[in-house]
Chain A
Amino acid sequence: MVALATNQAAVFAAAGQKIDIENVFHQFELEGEPLPVLDGIDFSVEPGSFIALLGPSGCGKSTLLRLLAGLDHPTKGDLKVDGENVGDPDPSRIMVFQDPTLFPWRTVWDNVALGLEARGIVKKSRQRVDDAIQLVGLGGFDKAYPHQLSGGMAQRVALARALVNEPRLLLLDEPLGKLDSLTRLTMQTELVGLWQRAGLTAVLVTHDVEEALFLTQRVLVFGPRPARIVADIEVDLPYPRHRGDPRLAELRREALGHLGLAATW
């Protein structure tokens, strides 16, 4: 569907961030009652790697992503990025949500330029916006409004909006969750390509076992809420991967086993 331009790699050459999550607890207040969501999460991610947080819906994995982005702060424990505690949101760590959540009053170009505009550097960086739009294969759609785009195109714009800031950590919260299955397969391949070229650290939250195994190097399996890590699966396969690889099927059985669904496979 989309041939990605490979000569754009130089534009996004920032190195990935290292993540250290140390014994993080988190709870919400729900009608006065504390509702624990994260229960002693502890792991590290090497710079430049691509990992998945896999678990049942509502288990708290998206919460962990929001903590990493700095949108919320943990009740207890430390989240460190490159050795420093995560404070307020920072454009070096960018989140892509399940809904593209484009600003409907802005054109594609203006949506992608959002982060640069917020930091007051859009005038100097117009080329970067153009490059990011090219990178996700939407050249020529600069002036389109979000309501004119299909779901897949909108999600590509959301990716470009993240990548234009040259993030060093990309936080993906089920970014392909609402796409139709064909677009989804295409976008999975594109995500791997983007990650490889940009050289950033990427954390993907998903409840799709195949997606986690096909895309990432390491899959952390979460139990039901309050979430604990129940398994740490290394996906020891080189890219490009093949969906029919017997090793993937083997790992899938293992992962489903940890989720209590072994009987279905």
Chain B
Amino acid sequence: MASIDPALSDRTDGEPTLAGRERVGIWVLGLVAAATWIGVAALIELWPEIIPQPYGRELAIISLVFALALVVVAAAGRLLGAAASTTRYYGPWFVAAAFVVAGWEIVTAKTGLLPVPFFSSPQSILEVFFDDWSRLGMSVGYSVLLLAKGYFFGALAGFATGVTIGWSRTASYWVHPLLRLIGPLPATAWLPLAFFIFPTSGSASVFLIALATAFPVTILTWSGIASVNRDYYDIARTLGAKPSFLILKVAIPAALPHVFVGLFMGLGTSFAVLVVAEMLGVKAGLGWYLQWAQGWAAYNNMYAALLVMALMCSGLITILFRVRDWTLSWQKGLVRW
């Protein structure tokens, strides 16, 4: 039996240890973080507001609940498993966040240093979530649905085009100049034309998002296919592989790391097009919500919508990275999102 390679035994150790995982007993930093959040709650509750705002008490309660959760994690140690070690890893962030919220609270609601309609206090953003959650939620739903349609068709078309021009010289000869001409054009430049040509603003938006997604996916898939180690093909051919096997089982798997970079870049550009399309065409979604909030000078709603949009985009990218990590689990040294 051959001796086990050290690289293999490395794997059983699992993840590189997150800070604090090895520590046993009370988590002191967690108690400090809890104390700062109790401080935030006290500040909100006890310091009178310069302009009375609703939901101050709710915000104080949320801060207290957060502090309580930190105390539980600090005391329970490793009993809570992975969730606890993640919480411990972000300990310094919780302390910093408490100071940021406190500072924000002071310069807005408590002293009014920042002018009121343009800068919202934490509780006025909370107010939006409490009072307008149904419209916000619907907007997220519309946005995700529109993005999903456009991204799906764009990624599919980009992948197919990339594989075709990566594989076939003839296809590359004809498609490459078109790609060079049209690809760099921002998808938003098609907007007026698309809304004119397509029967509905919805289908026009799907087209624009698909276009924005397809370009990076095409280029990266193509470069992935083109940079496949030639020896892989020689090996497969000597083993009796047919062209279809070479494409499906050699070229495409070998190109996948590149394809995922393309999918990531495509997702980024598709967000930009999504927001513009919603602001100018489709009367739904987060882009429209922002526009609507601006129309009513509802800056609180705008901040809330921006926050939700950030969470949505970040969440979608997280999902993409999870899919990639799962698909490319054979690679070592993957970048984490």
Interface residues of chain A, those whose CB is within 8 Å of chain B, are 1-2, 69-71, 88-91, 93-95, 97, 99, 101, 103-107, 114-115, 117-119, 137-141, 144-150, 152-153, 161, 165
26 CB contacts below 8 A, A to B, read A1-B2, A2-B1, A2-B2, A71-B234, A71-B238, A89-B238, A89-B240, A90-B240, A95-B234, A95-B235, A95-B238, A97-B235, A103-B250, A104-B330, A105-B254, A114-B236, A117-B249, A118-B236, A118-B241, A140-B1, A147-B7, A147-B331, A147-B332, A148-B5, A152-B2, A153-B2
Given A99-B231, A105-B254; A118-B239 close (CB under 8 Å): yes
Q: Are A137 and B240 in contact (CB under 8 A)?
A: no
- Residues of B within 8 Å of A103, CB to CB, are 232, 250, 253-254
Classify the interface of chain B: helix, strand, loop or mixed: helix
CA separation between A69 and B231, bound complex, in Å?
13
Q: Is B256 an interface residue (CB 8 A)?
A: yes
Interface string of B238-258 (1 = CB under 8 A from A): 111110010001100110100
Q: Is B8 an interface residue (CB 8 A)?
A: yes
Instruction: Select one of B2, B238, B240 contacting A138, CB under 8 A.
Output: B2
The distance from the CB of A261 to the nearest CB of chain B, in whole angstroms, is: 31
CA separation between A41 and B211, bound complex, in Å?
57
- Residues of B within 8 Å of A71, CB to CB, are 234, 237-238
When C-beta atoms are compared, the residue in chain A nearest to B327 turns out to be: A105
Instruction: Select one of B3, B229, B231, B237 contacting A89, CB under 8 A.
Output: B237
Q: Is B336 an interface residue (CB 8 A)?
A: no
Given A105-B254, A114-B239, A118-B245; A148-B1 close (CB under 8 Å): no
Q: Are B238 and A94 in contact (CB under 8 A)?
A: yes
Beyond A97-B235, A145-B330, A165-B240, 20 additional pairs, beta carbon < 8 A: A2-B1, A71-B237, A89-B237, A91-B238, A95-B238, A97-B234, A101-B232, A103-B250, A103-B254, A105-B254, A105-B256, A117-B245, A118-B241, A118-B249, A139-B1, A141-B2, A147-B331, A149-B7, A150-B7, A153-B5
Instruction: Select one of A2, A93, A105, A150 contacting B238, CB under 8 A.
Output: A93
Q: Is B11 an interface residue (CB 8 A)?
A: yes
When C-beta atoms are compared, the residue in chain B nearest to A92 turns out to be: B240
CB-CB nearest 7 A-B residue pairs = A115-B239, A91-B240, A118-B241, A89-B238, A89-B237, A101-B231, A105-B330
- Residues of B within 8 Å of A138, CB to CB, are 2
Interface residues of chain B, those whose CB is within 8 Å of chain A, are 1-3, 5, 7-8, 11, 229, 231-232, 234-242, 245, 249-250, 253-254, 256, 328, 330-332
Given A2-B2, A103-B254, A153-B5; A161-B330 close (CB under 8 Å): no
- Residues of B within 8 Å of A140, CB to CB, are 1
When C-beta atoms are compared, the residue in chain A nearest to B233 turns out to be: A71
Instruction: Find the residue from A95, A101, A104, A149 having the highest chain B CB count within 10 A.
Output: A104
Instruction: Select one of A99, A105, A161, A165 contacting B253, CB under 8 A.
Output: A105
- Residues of A within 8 Å of B232, CB to CB, are 101, 103
The distance from the CB of A147 to the nearest CB of chain B, in whole angstroms, is: 5
Instruction: Select one of A119, A146, A152 contacting B240, CB under 8 A.
Output: A119
Instruction: Find the residue from A90, A114, A138, A140 having the highest chain B CB count within 10 A.
Output: A114
CA separation between A104 and B3, bound complex, in Å?
21
CA separation between A146 and B239, bound complex, in Å?
19
Given A99-B231, A105-B256; A165-B331 close (CB under 8 Å): no
- Residues of A within 8 Å of B240, CB to CB, are 89-91, 115, 118-119, 165
Q: Are A165 and B5 in contact (CB under 8 A)?
A: no
CA separation between A160 and B235, bound complex, in Å?
13
Given A2-B2, A99-B231, A103-B232; A165-B239 close (CB under 8 Å): yes
CA separation between A70 and B229, bound complex, in Å?
19
Q: Are A118 and B8 in contact (CB under 8 A)?
A: no
When C-beta atoms are compared, the residue in chain B nearest to A150 turns out to be: B5
- Residues of A within 8 Å of B2, CB to CB, are 1-2, 137-138, 141, 152-153
- Residues of B within 8 Å of A99, CB to CB, are 231
CA separation between A139 and B254, bound complex, in Å?
26
The distance from the CB of B162 to the nearest CB of chain A, in whole angstroms, is: 18
- Residues of A within 8 Å of B254, CB to CB, are 103, 105
- Residues of A within 8 Å of B241, CB to CB, are 118
Q: Are B231 and A94 in contact (CB under 8 A)?
A: no
CA separation between A153 and B5, bound complex, in Å?
9
Given A94-B238, A165-B239; A106-B5 close (CB under 8 Å): no
- Residues of A within 8 Å of B235, CB to CB, are 95, 97, 101, 114, 161
Instruction: Find the residue from A89, A106, A118, A141 having the highest chain B CB count within 10 A.
Output: A118
When C-beta atoms are compared, the residue in chain A nearest to B240 turns out to be: A91
Q: Are B231 and A97 in contact (CB under 8 A)?
A: yes
Q: Are A148 and B7 in contact (CB under 8 A)?
A: yes
The distance from the CB of B227 to the nearest CB of chain A, in whole angstroms, is: 14
Q: Are A101 and B7 in contact (CB under 8 A)?
A: no
When C-beta atoms are compared, the residue in chain A nearest to B236 turns out to be: A118
Instruction: Find the residue from B2, B7, B242 having the highest chain A CB count within 10 A.
Output: B2
Given A101-B229, A105-B254, A153-B2; A148-B239 close (CB under 8 Å): no
The distance from the CB of A88 to the nearest CB of chain B, in whole angstroms, is: 8
